[in-house]
Homo-oligomer: A and B are copies of this chain.
Amino acid sequence: MTTAGTGGGALMRAAPGPEEIRRTNLGTLLQYVHLHGATSRAELTTRLGLNRSTIGTLTAELATAGLVSEAVPRGIRRAGRPSLVVRPESARVYAYALSIEVDQLRAARVGLGGTVLDRRVCDRPRGLPLPGTVAPLARLIHEMHREVDDDARYVGTGVAVAGRYRGDDGTVRLVPTDGWGAELGAALGSVGRLTVGNHADVAALVEHSRGAAVGCGNVVYLHGDAGIGAGIIAADRRLAGYGGYGGELGHMVVNPYGRECGCGSRGCWETEIGESALLRHAGRAGERGREAVLSVIRSAMHGDRQAQYAVRRVGEWIGFGVGNLANIFNPEAVIFGGTLRDVYLVAAAQIRSRMNAVALPACREHIRLRTPGLGPDAVLIGAAELAFARLLDDPLTVLTARAL
- Closest CB-CB distance, A18 to chain B, in whole Å? 8
Interface string of A153-195 (1 = CB under 8 A from B): 0000000000011111010011000000110010000000011
- Closest CB-CB distance, A124 to chain B, in whole Å? 21
Instruction: Decide: B253 and A323 in contact? CB cutoff 8 A.
Output: yes
Interface string of A234-261 (1 = CB under 8 A from B): 1111111111111111011111110000
Of A8, A181, A393, chain B has the most CB atoms within 10 Å of the CB of A8
Of A28, A170, A234, A327, chain B has the most CB atoms within 10 Å of the CB of A327
Bound complex: CA A18 to CA B15 (Å): 8
Instruction: Decide: A358 and B7 in contact? CB cutoff 8 A.
Output: no
Instruction: Decide: B4 and A386 in contact? CB cutoff 8 A.
Output: yes
Q: Which of these, B14, B168, B324, B363, contacts A245 with CB under 8 Å? A: B363
- Closest CB-CB distance, A25 to chain B, in whole Å? 5
Of A3, A197, A244, A332, chain B has the most CB atoms within 10 Å of the CB of A3
A196 / chain B contacts, CB cutoff of 8 Å: 1-3
Instruction: Decide: B5 and A31 in contact? CB cutoff 8 A.
Output: no
A7 / chain B contacts, CB cutoff of 8 Å: 31, 34, 385, 388-389, 392-393
**Known pairs A1-B196, A251-B359 / 9 extra A-B pairs, C-beta < 8 Å:** A3-B197, A4-B195, A6-B206, A9-B35, A12-B28, A15-B21, A248-B363, A249-B328, A251-B363
A35 / chain B contacts, CB cutoff of 8 Å: 9
Knowing A218-B241, A328-B328, say if A236 contacts B8 (CB, 8 Å).
yes
Instruction: Decide: B332 and A242 in contact? CB cutoff 8 A.
Output: yes
Q: Is A122 an interface residue (CB 8 A)?
A: no
- Closest CB-CB distance, A71 to chain B, in whole Å? 24
Bound complex: CA A8 to CA B5 (Å): 23
Q: Is A212 an interface residue (CB 8 A)?
A: no
A389 / chain B contacts, CB cutoff of 8 Å: 4-7
Knowing A9-B31, A253-B320, A328-B328, say if A167 contacts B242 (CB, 8 Å).
no
Bound complex: CA A263 to CA B243 (Å): 34
Q: Is A11 an interface residue (CB 8 A)?
A: yes
Q: Which residues of A contact B (CB under 8 A)?
A: 1-16, 18, 21, 24-25, 27-28, 31-32, 34-35, 48-50, 164-168, 170, 173-174, 181-182, 185, 194-198, 201-202, 205-206, 209, 216-218, 232, 234-249, 251-257, 263-265, 320, 323-324, 327-332, 357-360, 362-363, 365-366, 382, 385-386, 388-390, 392-393
A48 / chain B contacts, CB cutoff of 8 Å: 12
- Closest CB-CB distance, A402 to chain B, in whole Å? 17
Listed A/B pairs (6) with beta-carbon separation below 8 Å: A3-B195, A9-B35, A12-B28, A243-B365, A248-B363, A328-B328
- Closest CB-CB distance, A69 to chain B, in whole Å? 21
Q: Which of these, B1, B12, B265, B332, contacts A50 with CB under 8 Å? A: B12
Bound complex: CA A358 to CA B264 (Å): 8
- Closest CB-CB distance, A268 to chain B, in whole Å? 9
